[in-house]
Structures are given as C-alpha cells and as structure tokens.
Amino acid sequence: MKSAIMNTIAATAVAAATFTAAFTASPGDAAAADKLKVRYDLYTRGIRAFALNYSADIDQNGFSAKAKLRPKGLASLFIDLEMDMTSSGAITGKGARSDNFTMKVKEKGKKGRYAVSFDGLQPVSTKRKPAINGKTEAKIKSASAAGARDTLASMMDIAVRPGSNPCDASYRVYNGKEVFKLALQKIKDDTFGKKDGGVYRGPAIVCSMTYSTLAGLSAKTEAKYRKKPPVFRVWFAPVRSSALGRDMNVLIAVTGKIKGKDFVAYANKATLSGKPLNSKSLAKR
C-alpha cells in the first residue's frame, strides 16, 4: 500500500497539490506567475503521521513544481520513508505536459534516484539508481509507450485543461520507477465550513480517485493491487489565479485507507501568491 499512498498523496498528489482550470482566459488577463504553496498533514487514528510540502510556479506557458514528503511526530520513530519530487513542463490550450522530472526516495535505509525526460507525452530517457532487470524495464517501456506524464505534471494537467470539473479523467503516470494509472470520477459538490479540517472555507468538488499499477512493481505487489485497487476520495476547491486569469481547483483534502486503517489528509497551510486561497480561508493552522 505504501507505493499507492506515496504516488497518490505525494502527487496527488498529491501532490501534488492539484489545480484545475474552470474558465478560458482572455489574452490580457494574465499577470506574473502565481506561486501556490500548500502543506498537507496526513493523520491516521488521530495522529499526524506525514507532512507533504508542495509548491508550484504557474503562468500561461509553463510550470515548475516540487513536493517533499516526510514522516512526522511519533511516526518518524517507526517509519523510514522520505520522498522528494520536482517537475517542469509546458502549458498549452489543451493542458500540461512533462519536460523533466526527478524523484528521490528513501525507504528502510534504501535509496532510489530517478530522472525522466519527456518529449510531449513520450518518455525519451530515464536514469535510475538502483538499476532494474531487463524484463521489468521492457514492461515499463511498453506501458509508458502509450503516452504518459510524470506524477506532478499529471496533477498540473488536471489543473489547467479547460472545463469546470477536475474529475472524470484518467491519467497514465510514469515516475521512472513505475507506470500507474489514476482514474478520477466526480461524486458530488460540497462545501468546507468552519467545522471541517484544514484552512480552506468555501465550495468544493468531491471525487473518487482509483490507483492502478501497470508496470514496475514486483509481480506479487502488482497482483495484490490489481485484485483490489486502492480507492481514495479527494476534494478540490476553486481558487482564482491572477496569473492564468481564471479559477484553479486546489486539492484541499484526501481520505482513504493505509493497510486497512483509515487516514485523512488536510491542507493545513495554503497560500496563492502569499495570500489565503480566498477571503474566508486561513493561511495556516
């Protein structure tokens, strides 16, 4: 389940702090690049277990993003898991695409480093440590040949492609280690109020997000996930971007299960160009 959680929360994740365009901007609407900064805190059994710090610079032509996942509190005494990701790419009228992506993972004393370059939706080069066997590499190349984005660029594409619904979409994702799919579907409209977690207050959209592994993991792990794909529930909030001249939907909450145990993650710190996400929201808590 760790692979699914890392790819989903940290990207999705985590990521990635995601954002979705709601309206098409006119040529004169854009200003300087916006900077989105969000800290997500993940809780299980009421205890803070992880913090994901995400930031992204966005304008009409491109983006750069980074995410850092670390265990916190008592969890840091028992969990040896860290992840760092960076991504940059282009933004077009049809969405976002990857140019370059890096990921560093540390788990149980073992370190992994991955760097991927893309040409459009095609991975053109991958550097990884440790190396993988030829059979696994062939499966990864085959699975990513159909077209893929990196983890953070996939979330950015949800952000900037036209349409007011951030869900009802499917993404093939390649991070240098694994190829997986994230399938989103809208559940309902919702509202975050003072009694809800996190810093955001206002309208939101609730979606389901299903993680499916395609290549790169062990046969045993892939079989387990394919038998019962992890499903998460995610909330997006519409936030006005002066850089894009339109709304973006920012990921504000995630719920799901880790090894059968419920977890929830909230955006406990969030600013866009140094200000709260809207007039009713807090900057941090």
Tell me if residue 144 falls in helix, strand or coil.
helix
Residue 261 is predicted with a pLDDT of 85
Give the chain's count of helices (H) and strands (E).
5, 15
pLDDT tier, 95 (very low <50, low <70, confident <90, very high otherwise): confident
- CA max distance for the chain: 54
Q: Scanning the structure block, which residue is given the tokens 């499917």?
A: 170
Please give the average per-residue pLDDT across 70-90, as a whole number.
87
Average pLDDT over the chain reads: 86
Boundaries of every domain in the chain: 2-272
**How many residues make up the chain in this entry?**
285
pLDDT (tens digit per residue) in 183-220: 999 999 999 999 999 999 999 999 999 999 999 999 99
Please give the average per-residue pLDDT across 166-193, as a whole number.
95
**What distance in Å separates the CA atoms of residue 145 and residue 120, rounded to the nearest whole number?**
12
DSSP 109-159: TEEEEEEEEEETTEEEEEEEES---HHHHHHHHHHHTT--B-HHHHHHHHH
Residue 152, phi-psi category: left (phi > 0), alpha (psi -120 to 50), beta (remainder): alpha
User: What's the predicted TM-score (pTM) here?
Assistant: 0.86
Residue 123 is predicted with a pLDDT of 96
pLDDT (tens digit per residue) in 4-44: 445 544 444 443 333 322 222 233 333 468 999 999 999 99
Q: Cβ of 55: how many Cβ atoms within 10 Å?
A: 16
